[in-house]
């Protein structure tokens, strides 16, 4: 990278030295500025980790898919997809990042720093992906793959039953189809907040009984999942039949 080190240096004495994180990862960087960049949130300025995050996300998904394929030779595509989604979702990545104390090394803008951004799931998850991207660029795919496999080994060895990971929208659809009922409709009924911190509100409607539910989330997809989850609660109360429970990403 041709970025002056002075442009990347943190001005806060509270931010940990990236070299410590590199040691914890077991990586000896040839170009240390790559790791420094991976730890810079977009709130810190134009020099930030977004491009590295894009790269790391792709690598992470490939490595996790590869390991799941090898570990579960008899699993169907649907099960593999649900397992992968559960491993690479924001909350899981943030948990792995906390295990590395990644928040201690993040460089944030003043606003994010004051609001505790170093603890936020989304920021931690993005920084972990960016770090994977940095390792790939500096050390190559084999080293990045080995690091991801180390970091996620325990999670991959202790996966829940794949059926329990069906998202709320899927469970609601299957619940309605089992009764030969019309599928729900989802409508965005409100969007609020600034562009990078929007909150979506989605209303889920059923035609056969006129039930509605409202969900909110940081994306339309998450809001739809939250609305479906709430609709499932209503249907369970109304029918006494409980669809299989599973995780969701409502936020």
Of 33, 57, 138, 249, which one is the catalytic site residue?
Answer: 57
- Tell me if residue 57 is catalytic: yes
d(CA 1, CA 5): 10
Nearest to 129 by CA among 65, 62, 56: 56
Q: Strands 212-217, 185-192: parallel, antiparallel or unpaired by DSSP?
A: unpaired
User: Is 19 annotated as belonging to a binding site?
Assistant: no
Inter-axis angle of helices 121-139 and 50-71, nearest 10: 80
- Tell me if residue 167 is catalytic: no
* Tokens 């056969």 -> residue: 208
User: Is 126 annotated as belonging to a binding site?
Assistant: yes
d(CA 158, CA 151): 13
User: Is 91 annotated as belonging to a binding site?
Assistant: no
Of 129, 138, 167, 229, which one is the catalytic site residue?
Answer: 129
State both tokens at 178: 């089992």
Alpha-helix runs per DSSP H in 47-120: 50-71, 77-88, 90-99, 110-114
- Asked if 229 and 250 touch (Cβ cutoff 8 Å), the reply is yes
Q: Which residues are catalytic?
A: 57, 129
* Binding-site positions for Mg(2+): 53, 126, 129
* Binding-site positions: 53, 126, 129
């Amino acid at each position: 990278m041709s970025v002056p080190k002075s442009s990347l240096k943190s001005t806060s004495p509270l931010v940990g030295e990236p070299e410590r994180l590199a040691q914890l990862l077991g990586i000896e960087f040839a170009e240390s500025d790559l790791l420094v960049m991976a730890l810079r949130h977009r709130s810190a300025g134009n020099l930030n980790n977004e491009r590295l995050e894009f790269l790391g996300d792709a690598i992470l998904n490939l490595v996790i898919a590869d390991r799941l394929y090898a570990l579960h030779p008899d699993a169907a595509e649907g099960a593999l997809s649900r397992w992968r989604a559960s491993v690479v979702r924001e909350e899981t990545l943030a948990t792995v990042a906390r295990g590395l104390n990644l928040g201690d090394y993040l460089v944030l803008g003043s606003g994010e720093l004051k609001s505790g951004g170093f603890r936020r799931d989304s920021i931690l998850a993005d920084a972990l992906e960016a770090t994977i991207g940095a390792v790939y660029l500096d050390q190559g795919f084999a080293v990045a793959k080995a690091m991801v496999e180390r970091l996620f080994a325990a999670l991959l060895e202790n996966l829940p039953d794949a059926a329990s990971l069906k998202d709320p929208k899927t469970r609601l659809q299957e619940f309605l189809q089992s009764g030969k009922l019309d599928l729900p409709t989802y409508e965005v009924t409100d969007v609020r907040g600034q562009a990078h911190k929007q909150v979506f509100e989605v209303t889920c409607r059923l035609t056969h009984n006129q039930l509605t539910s409202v969900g909110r989330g940081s994306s339309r997809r998450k809001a739809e999942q939250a609305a479906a989850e709430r609709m499932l609660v209503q249907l369970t109360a109304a029918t006494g039949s409980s669809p299989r429970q599973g995780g969701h990403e409502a936020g």
